[in-house]
Amino acid sequence: MITRDPRAFVEFARGLAPDFGPACARAAFLVAPDGFALAEQSASDNAYMDLSVAVDPARASAQHRGLQSALAQDLPVVCFPGDPAAPDGLFPNNVFATGPGRLLVGRMRHPVRQREAERPDIRGFFSGLLGYEEIDLRRQPGVCELTGSAVIDRARGLAFAGLGERCDEAGARALHAALGLRGTLLFDLAAGEYHTNVVMSVLAGRALVVAPSGFADRAVADALAEIYAPHVLVLAPAQKAAFAGNCIALRPDRVRMSAAGAAALSAGQRTGLADAGFELAPVPLDEIEKAGGSLRCCVAEIY
């Protein structure tokens, strides 16, 4: 099913067992923020970036190493070197995504990000070392910045694709087909939003973190909450701006979120995560967040 009808999608999703695949990745990879800088092209449609802000490359690198060290407590983590000519390269989940035995290469909107998809080391790691089939979505119509543009429930085989500057319907359909998903819900992001994974996250297939202000139609966010109730954290706009929605569960009992995002949560929301079976494990990333993304954006999952 690929639809824009949230009610039809909820009824479809409710009938699915969480048996599509593992809810959490088996490994992950990062790309170091070598030559950390703000990309002017990306700032043109990323409201979370401010080009007037000074950045500290050494501090960004230190925080990124801290992130790798933290994530290594959850699962195996590989880190590839960065490329100063590709300043957004530290957010590889927009360019690369995986399914069992396959590597997807995304079709990026901005030229400064399109060069990331050419990296022979990352592509060779999957094709040559792991023997994954490469599916290059750049050869197909549409724009889709993969797991930035679409949040995927791996347990049920569902995608939630927010349409905007960086994802259109053709791109979302290509992602759906490449991962062999059961269902994809298409919806419009609110004006000024660039990626779905900033406004929502599905945690290990059993909980939802969602910021209704990030949706053009709040009814879509309300419908999604029905799928994951009672384990739903509804974020206020200020919490979304602190990147509380840009979180990820890389193991079934732990949620990784930036320190700023975690600090923005209320006591009740923290209790809600605990009731859903999750330990909240923050990582300081405020320097990296100046580039308009946060923890989940840095993590490319390996399935």
- Contact call for residues 288 and 33 (beta carbons, < 8 A): yes
Quick: pLDDT tens for 24-63. 999 999 999 998 877 665 645 666 766 678 889 999 999 9
Amino acid at 10: V
CATH 3.40.50.80 fits 2-302, yes or no: no
Integer Cα distance of 92 and 89 in angstroms? 6
Q: pLDDT digits over 129-148, tens only?
A: 999 999 999 988 899 999 99
Tell me the CA distances in angstroms from 234 to 149, 199, 231, 245, one per residue in order.
20, 10, 10, 9
Do 125 and 132 form a contact (C-beta atoms < 8 A)?
Answer: no
pLDDT band at 86 (very low <50, low <70, confident <90, very high): confident
Q: What is the pLDDT of residues 185-227, one digit of tens each?
A: 999 999 999 999 999 999 999 999 999 999 999 999 999 999 9
* 41, 103, 290 from 44: Cα distances, Å: 5, 29, 14
| Mean pLDDT in residue range 61-66 | 98
Beta strands in 62-132 (DSSP E): 77-80, 96-99, 102-105
Contact of 189 with 213, CB cutoff 8 Å: no
| 3-class state of residue 50 by DSSP | coil
Whole-number pLDDT of residue 42:
64
pTM given for the model: 0.94
**Which letter does DSSP use for residue 190 in this model?**
P
Which pLDDT belongs to residue 238? Answer: 98
If you average pLDDT over every residue of the chain, what do you get?
A: 94
Whether residue 115 has pLDDT greater than 90: no
Give me the mean pLDDT over the 79-104 stretch.
94
* pLDDT of residue 172 exceeding 90: yes
Of the chain, the percentage scoring pLDDT greater than 70 comes to 96
End-to-end CA distance of the chain: 23
**For residue 206, how many other CB atoms are within 10 A of its CB?**
17
Preceding omega of 120 cis (within 30 degrees of 0): no
What is the DSSP code (8-state) at residue 1? Answer: -
Instruction: Look at 179 and 46; give whichever has higher pLDDT.
Output: 179
